[in-house]
Structure formats: C-alpha cells, structure tokens
Amino acid sequence: MQSLCAMPWKMLCSFPYHFSSISIRAKIGPQRSKGMRRMPELPEVETIRRSLVKHITGRKIADVNVLLYKTIKFPDVAEFCSRVRGQKILRLDRRGKYLMLRLASGNTLLLHLRMTGRLYRREPCAPLSRHVRILFELDDGAYLLFEDVRTFGEIRLLRPQEQKDFPALLRMGPEPLTREFHARYLRDALKSSRQFIKSVLLDQEKVAGLGNIYVDEALFLAGIHPLRRANTLNLDEVFRLHQAINKVIAEGIEDGGTTFRDYIDGEGKEGFHQQKLCVYHREGELCLVCGKEIEKIRVGGRGTRFCPHCQPLREGKSKLIGLTGGIASGKSTVSRQLMELGAHVIDTDKIAHALAKPHKPLWEIYRKHFGEGILDENHCLCREKIAKRVFSDPEERRWIDGTAHPLIAASVRKKIATLERKGVKIIFLDVPLLFEAGWNRMVDLIWLVHVSKDTQLARLMKRNGYTQEEAMARIDAQLSLEEKKERADCIIENDGTWKETLAQVIEAWKSLQ
C-alpha cells in the first residue's frame, strides 16, 4: 500500500520548511517595466541566433559602416572594415552569451550584447534607430544592425587562433542543455566553493550563459535559498538544481526570451517569457506556490528575488536527515537500529497510522469518503482494501494524499519543534516515499536503504504473499532505487546479513555525529 504520509508536493505549502516544485510555471500577466534593463542571457542570445540564421547564412557583407568606434574592440576600425567587407557569412553560432558570425575567410565576428545591445535585420526602407552603432549592408539589400543604447556592447574580429586564445571563451564553463553539463559536473563545481550559490551560478567559468533572471528562477524551482553556501547543497539539491537550470533555460528559449525593455530577437520581435516568471521582478507580489510575499535582497551586488517560505534558509536549527528506501528494502529495520543507537527518529508512517485509528481524524474522513465497506471486522480501516482502491485509481490516490497531509504535517511540525527546543541537533524523518511525495525538499541530507531489485522482489513476494506480477507492479509504481541512489548522500546496502547492515548504520551514524 502507498504510505499514508505520501502526498503531492503542492500540499506541503503549510509545512514550515516548504519547498517549490520545478514543475510550477504559471502565466501571471505582462511584466514589462520601462525602467528595467537587463543583460540578454543564454535564451535571448540563442533566440537571436535562431531568428537570424535563415536571413544571413550565405549572405555577403557588401559594406560595413561603424557609427561608434568604441564598439569595435579589436582590431582597429579601418582594419576591421577592410577584413569584413565582401565576406560571406557561413553560419551563425553561439557560445554562452556570445554570438559568432563565421566568415568565409576563417575569421569570426564575436559579438557580446552586454546590457542593451541588439542584433537584428532590417529592410533597407525601414527607418534606423539613433542608437544604431554598426551597420552591416548585406548583398540582398537588407541591413544587419547592431544597436546599443548604453554603448556597453562589444564586437571583435578574430582569426582562428585569436578566438581559440580569447580568455572569456577559453575559461568558459559548460552550458545548460549540453552533454557536458550534467548533475555530476554541477556537484563537483559546487562542492569546493563556499560562495553563495547565487554568485557561483553567475560565474561564467562555472556555468556558461546564466544571468540574473534565470538563476533566480532556477533557485526558486529547486527550492534553494540564494544565500546558501554552494558546498552545503546535498546531492538531491544539486540534482534538483541541475533539472531546474535546464528547465528554465529550455522554457526561456521556447518562449523567445524575456523582454522587459530592450531585448528583441533578430527579427525585431519581443519575447514573452516574462509572463511566466515566478520570482524575478516580482518582489512585493505573492508567491504563486505558497502565497507569501516575494522578497528582494542583494547577493554579490546583484538584485536577487526569492520566496522565503519556498526557499528556506535553515541555519542554526537541527539537521534534518531524510531516511527512505523502496518497498521491502528494509528501511524500517534501519530506522529501529538508529533509534537503538540513540538517534531521534520521526516515523511519518506511524503518525499516519495513529491518525487512522478508529474515531481518529483520518479514520472519520476515510470512512465518510469510502463508505463502511472500507472497515474490517474490528471496525478498523482495512489497509488492503484502501490499497486496492488507490493503487488502481490515480484520482483516489491524489485524494488520499491530499487528505492525509495536513494532519501528518501538523504532527511532524510539532515533533520537530519539540525536539529542537530540547536541543536535539540531528533529527531523522522516516518517510517511505520521500522523493515521490516531495519531502526530500525539506531535509538537509538523505539516507537511502538500498537493495538489489531481485532482493526487493523476493522479499516483497514473501512478506506480502504477492505474485511476481503484483510485486513488480508495486515496485514500479515508485521511483526506482537506482535513481534514488544517485540523489542520496548516504547509502545503506541491505542485501546482506543483519550484522552487515548494522555495521554500516553504526559507521554512518558516527560519521554524522
């Protein structure tokens, strides 16, 4: 049976250590601000690239007119113009926040838009903005314009070796959505840094292409406070952050970027991702998940938005350890071993069962919902009958999760507060479906009781009298133990003897203390 304490993450909003889901994205209406300027980030630069490719690939640069000399950083303007004129544009690439026009000569036009730069195509009859700094005339009569209000943008013309040795490109880290940017890379990049996580993610040598807006959004979706020290993130938090970064970048590209004031794509169109932002530029507004007010602080000199409820900064309190496993993995045995060693364990399943005793709150709610047929001969809730109902009906499963949560969460909240008042420094939360139900977002570390699938299957069939098909169906209904293993900070292997498992628990407990 699915644990009574399992619940969808959205139901956890009332929990004091609430966290947000990476699946929450909601339209909240236009958020244009005439006073806000922001540097185009990876999604905006990639959108510009995609929108220009079909217009400029294969075209020749018939002429070039430099209207603001300081925009050309290398070489000097005269040499720049002579080497660009008559050159065919082979392709348009991007690396991080840089655009790269590959020319037939082998040279590369390297552009960085900085704060207010724009690169877009215009027909020859269209009026030109007074902020145009470079004008490339193409052989089809159209213009490729570099416009820049605040004149921070930069253009360089580099030979192959000069591009290879260009410091910013040489030191640039991997980009989101690439093979090189995987969760293990992110874990290694963070574990040696005591900087705030917001500052680390803005470092282009760590992750290329991220800027203020998408870092704030990713941290919100991962449920991580921007002032967390990078090396304090547990493996599950790194996993969630990796997912969140890829998600916000992919959605930003899909939505054509984020436009507040200056940004347009290569065809002069604005993006609309600003309509889906959860925290960025929403300070003072209510969080879309929990209803608390979005706050703004400065981290490393950068304005930073976050939800203090969904992204808690739990410093100076007890360390919460999530203890979990799969069905028939032996988690309960490890939980008992920990208690014998003196650990404080809050068993969420026991809380759920206590609330489901005759005439207790859950008992009353379940009886009313399912009817008297859900009771056994002793007038108690029949777990097997409930299991059959919820296992075959996702709607019933969601109902039972949502119904059980407020009561279980209130009890857990009281128990944690009581232990903290007593000065307990380490508290274990025994949660069977820690990942599936979203409780992984409230703990500091995760311990996993792991067994092989063959052992798990054999134990479940023997314990519950299931057929192999029935047992596999219940195992497959949970997140696989192998995926949980990738996200857990401590692994207790439980395929062996009781003594072998106990030895691992003792060693892990000593190490934790």
Return the active site residues: 40-41, 97, 302
Largest Cα–Cα distance of the chain, in whole Å?
95
Rounded CA-CA distance 165/74 in Å is 14
The C-alpha atoms of residue 193 and residue 232 are separated, in whole angstroms, by 9
Instruction: Provide the H-helix boundaries in 122-206.
Output: 160-164, 167-170, 183-191, 197-202
Regarding beta strands 319-325 and 154-158, do their DSSP bridges make them parallel or antiparallel, or are they unpaired?
unpaired
Calpha distance 494→490 (Å, rounded): 13
Integer Cα distance of 224 and 232 in angstroms: 11
Q: Which DSSP symbol is given to 191?
A: H
Angle at 160 between CA 154 and CA 162, to 5 degrees: 55
Phi, psi at 88, each rounded to 5°: -85, 135
Q: Which of these, 79, 69, 87, lies nearest to 139 by C-alpha position?
A: 87
Q: Report d(CA 157, CA 113) in Å as an integer.
A: 15
User: One-letter amino acid identity for 43?
Assistant: P
Amino acid (one-letter) located at 487: R
Rounded-to-integer distance, Cα 333 and Cα 348, Å: 15
